[in-house]
Each structure stands twice: as structure tokens, then as C-alpha cells.
């Protein structure tokens, strides 16, 4: 098991040679990208509600890291969830530690996942093949660069109304930030990203 570092240090897994300080030329410890165990409509009781689901489901399987919902909202750009110092040096991995993206930054501006590497939910289901998620789409509420998409986040993830829309992306092409507008009543995949920055500012 990894252990919590100093404040601002995050969660480090010794298998990756991780330490609180980045080593030039060597990747840092990985950040996990994992789906919630069931699909969600646009009504998630706000960004705090979505973050709390990520937190509790990670805790339930004994993960020590801090997890946040992979979503932009009125006061949050998705791209900024991972702290600047960690955006290039930490690989993004799935529940089984298989690399999905070489770094956080590589997700943005049309970056695609490694081929044949699945995204799993916290309870171990393969999101792309499991019937729990009839629609293989994820909510993100973002532009392709990971910034908040105006009017694209189901009124800060508080509305599950058919008449309101939010930005989503199909998982089939491996691009997590495809620009597809979906009704907030749709039940889609919600991803959670492990966030190495322990001293997170209160929102």
C-alpha cells in the first residue's frame, strides 16, 4: 500500500518508485482514473455531491488517495483538478494499474486512451462491456481543453431535466473530452480522478 505524503504530497505507491519529489526524466507515481459504480444523471447534488460519491466509493475499497469527480462546473475547470506540478510527470492508470494516458495533460486537446486498456468502476466492472451502463458516454461538462463549457454542466450538476443539456463524450473512440451535448436526464458514466494534492483548497 502507498502512504500519504506530507500535505501537498499526495498518495504514493512504492511499486512506481514514487516519492514526494519529482525525479527528472522519471515518471512519478500514477494517478488512478476510475468510474463510479453506477451511471448518474445530471443531478448529482452539485460538484460536491459528485466528489463525495468518488470519495466514498474509493474509501469503500480501501484506496488511500483523494478522488475528485472528472467534471467541470461553474467554479471548476476539469483541467485544474490535478495540480500543475503533477500534470506531466504522473501516468494516469485504471483500477488495475494499467496505463490509460501517459500524463494528465495528455488527456486534453483530443488526446486518446491507450488501445485495449479498459476503464473500470470501483467495484471492478469494465465500463465499456458491462450492461450497468447502457450508454457508453461520460459526463464532463468541459471544452476539449478541459475548461468549463458554458451552459454545459447541467446547472452545476444539480439538474436531471430532459430540457437541459450537459457536455458528454463517447468512450468508444478513447477521447474523454469529445464535444457531445446530452440531455441531463441521461444516465451516463461518471469518472473519478485521483488527486495528488492533499492540501486542496476549500470550495
Distance separating alpha carbons of residues 127 and 135, to the nearest angstrom: 10
Range in 12-21, 104-113, 158-167, 168-177 with the lowest mean pLDDT: 12-21
Its pTM stands at 0.84
Cell triple for 122:
470501483
What is the rounded CA–CA span in Å between residue 108 and residue 147? 10
Going from the C-alpha of 185 to that of each of 15, 94, 110, 127, 188, the distances in angstroms are 41, 27, 26, 19, 9
Domains of the chain: 28-203 (3.10.100.10)
pLDDT tens digits, 13-41: 334 433 333 444 556 689 999 999 999 99
Q: Angle at CA 195, nearest 5°, toward 99 and 187? A: 80
- In the predicted model, is pLDDT for residue 199 greater than 60? no
Q: What is the mean pLDDT of residues 76-97?
A: 94
Q: Over 60: is that where the pLDDT of 127 sits?
A: yes
Amino acid at each position: 500500500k502507498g502512504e500519504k505524503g506530507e500535505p501537498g504530497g499526495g498518495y504514493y505507491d512504492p511499486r512506481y518508485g514514487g516519492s514526494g519529489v519529482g525525479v527528472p526524466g522519471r515518471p512519478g507515481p500514477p494517478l488512478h482514473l476510475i468510474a463510479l459504480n453506477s451511471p448518474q444523471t445530471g443531478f448529482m447534488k452539485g460538484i460536491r455531491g459528485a466528489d463525495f460519491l468518488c470519495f466514498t466509493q474509493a474509501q469503500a475499497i480501501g484506496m488511500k488517495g483523494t478522488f475528485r469527480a472528472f467534471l467541470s462546473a461553474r467554479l471548476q475547470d476539469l483541467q485544474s483538478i490535478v495540480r500543475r506540478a503533477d500534470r506531466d510527470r504522473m501516468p494516469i492508470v485504471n483500477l488495475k494499474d494499467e496505463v490509460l494516458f501517459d500524463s494528465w495533460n495528455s488527456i486534453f486537446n483530443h488526446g486518446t486512451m491507450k488501445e485495449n486498456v479498459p476503464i473500470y468502476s470501483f467495484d471492478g466492472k469494465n465500463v465499456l462491456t458491462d450492461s450497468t451502463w447502457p450508454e457508453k458516454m461520460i459526463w464532463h461538462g468541459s471544452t476539449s481543453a478541459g475548461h468549463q463549457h458554458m451552459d454545459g454542466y447541467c446547472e452545476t450538476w444539480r439538474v436531471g431535466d430532459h430540457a437541459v443539456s450537459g457536455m458528454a463524450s463517447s468512450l468508444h473512440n478513447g477521447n474523454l473530452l469529445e464535444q457531445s451535448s446530452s440531455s441531463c436526464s441521461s444516465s451516463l458514466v461518471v469518472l473519478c480522478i485521483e488527486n495528488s494534492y492533499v492540501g486542496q483548497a476549500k470550495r
